[in-house]
């Protein structure tokens, strides 16, 4: 049986921050296996079924996981998981690891990993489950992240208020986790990955204790993601598929009101992470509209997102996050 590296790799951060791209670089390493889709196990299942040492709770949790499409993407052997689970600690962390280890074993790689949005929420329990784990936290300019998200979800309900809430939340966790878990937690700016991919990947490789290979730059382990990034470009085969076109999107796509709110509410955090605050000039009528409508409405959206997040995160058994209905299948293997 394959001996797995005891230090799994977790990639966290907000959506549209480069998690999938970082995963594409890392799975081009001969030792590292990370699924192409985020399993979201911690988000949707951690703590929601009580003590897994209770066989009934374990079966409820396993059945729910096997209904979720992102978990089924891993093609788990449910019977083997049932057998293996009772041979070790009866915890959520170990249950989740069994899924990823099966996936890594099929790929013939000794080190498993996971990419999940906002997994930084769960760092305390992750390090309790896997003391030697390494966490890579992707950070991107919140204005660009919001601009990129609008391309996919132009009618997003949170708007600039929700985007600012997410940024403040993830950066607060980044500062807290860096301080608490020095040497096991690393923040990576998306912009550094784009503009200095080789130097950034060399630093990441050193941090996770793996040898750097130059071929990682061309993403041979993730050809579909590379092709998506290269679509419409004329980059050479051996080049990194990233370009500066991914930086500064907000300058052309965000309204002055949305840009102003994100900057006003996040000014200190923007500067902490090396981002420049853009000057914005309103006409008197624009300033009045911003103060009377845009600022308070986005502040309400921001407070709503943070409030829901607090309840869902702290009371998972009663109010835990659930996968959307279209992400569930009817049968469970």
Per-residue pLDDT for the chain (333 aa), expressed as one digit of tens each? 578 889 999 999 999 999 999 999 999 999 999 999 999 999 999 999 999 999 999 999 999 999 999 999 999 999 999 999 999 999 999 999 999 999 999 999 999 999 999 999 999 999 999 999 999 999 999 999 999 998 887 776 668 999 999 999 999 999 999 999 999 999 999 999 999 999 999 999 999 999 999 999 999 999 999 998 887 666 565 567 888 888 999 998 899 999 999 999 999 999 999 999 999 999 999 999 999 999 999 999 999 999 999 999 999 999 999 999 999 997 655
**Residues in CB range of 140: below 8 A, 6 or more apart:** 13, 14, 16, 17, 18, 189, 190, 191
Q: C-alpha distances in angstroms, 86 versus 55, 125, 179? A: 10, 20, 35
The total domain count for the chain is 1
Residue 2 falls inside a structural domain:
no
- In CATH, what number is assigned to the domain containing residue 175? 3.40.50.300
Distance between CA 329 and CA 21 in Å, rounded?
28
User: Which residues, listed in sequence order, are joined to residue 13 by a DSSP beta bridge?
Assistant: 138
Q: What is the per-residue pLDDT for 242?
A: 83
201 touches 217 (CB < 8 A): yes
Residue 242 falls inside a structural domain:
yes
Residue 297 falls inside a structural domain:
yes
Residue 138 falls inside a structural domain:
yes
Distance between CA 242 and CA 229 in Å, rounded?
7
Residue 259 falls inside a structural domain:
yes
Sign of CA dihedral 324, 327, 330, 333: negative
pTM (global) more than 0.85: yes
Q: What is the per-residue pLDDT for 233?
A: 65
Q: What is the per-residue pLDDT for 241?
A: 84
Sign of CA dihedral 176, 180, 185, 188: positive
Residue 97 falls inside a structural domain:
no
Residue 217 falls inside a structural domain:
yes
Q: What is the per-residue pLDDT for 311?
A: 97
Residue 75 falls inside a structural domain:
no
Q: What is the per-residue pLDDT for 239?
A: 66
**Residues in CB range of 145: below 8 A, 6 or more apart:** 14, 15, 16, 17, 163, 167
Q: What is the per-residue pLDDT for 148?
A: 92
Q: What is the per-residue pLDDT for 231?
A: 73
Range of the structural domain that residue 16 is part of: 9-32+115-327
């Amino acid at each position: 049986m394959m001996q797995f590296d005891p230090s799994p790799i977790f990639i966290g951060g907000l959506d549209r921050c480069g998690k999938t791209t970082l995963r594409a670089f890392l799975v081009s390493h001969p030792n590292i296996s990370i699924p192409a889709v985020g399993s979201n196990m911690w988000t949707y299942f951690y703590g929601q079924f009580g003590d897994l040492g209770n066989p009934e709770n374990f079966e409820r949790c396993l059945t729910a996981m096997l209904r979720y499409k992102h978990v089924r993407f891993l093609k788990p052997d449910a019977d083997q998981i049932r057998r293996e689970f009772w041979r070790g600690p009866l915890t959520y962390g170990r249950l989740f690891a069994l899924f990823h280890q099966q996936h890594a074993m099929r790929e013939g790689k000794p080190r498993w990993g996971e990419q999940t949005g906002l997994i930084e929420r769960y760092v305390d329990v992750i390090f309790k489950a896997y003391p030697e784990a390494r966490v890579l936290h992707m950070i991107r300019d919140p204005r660009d992240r919001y601009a990129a998200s609008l391309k996919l979800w132009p009618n997003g309900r949170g708007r600039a208020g929700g985007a600012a809430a997410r940024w403040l939340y993830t950066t607060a966790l980044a500062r807290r986790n860096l301080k608490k878990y020095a040497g096991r937690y690393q923040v990576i700016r998306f912009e550094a990955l784009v503009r200095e991919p080789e130097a950034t990947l060399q630093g990441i490789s050193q941090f996770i204790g793996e040898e750097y290979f130059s071929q990682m730059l061309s993403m041979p382990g993730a050809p579909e993601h590379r092709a998506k990034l290269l679509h419409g470009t004329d980059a050479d085969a051996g080049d990194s598929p990233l370009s500066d076109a991914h930086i500064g999107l907000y300058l052309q796509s965000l309204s002055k009101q949305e840009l102003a709110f994100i900057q006003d509410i996040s000014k200190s955090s923007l500067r902490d992470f090396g981002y420049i605050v853009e000057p914005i000039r309103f006409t008197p009528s624009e300033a009045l509209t911003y103060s009377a409508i845009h600022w308070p409405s986005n502040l309400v959206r921001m407070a709503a997102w943070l409030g829901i997040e607090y309840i869902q995160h702290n009371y998972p058994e009663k109010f835990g996050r659930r996968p959307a209905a279209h992400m569930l299948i009817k049968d469970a293997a």
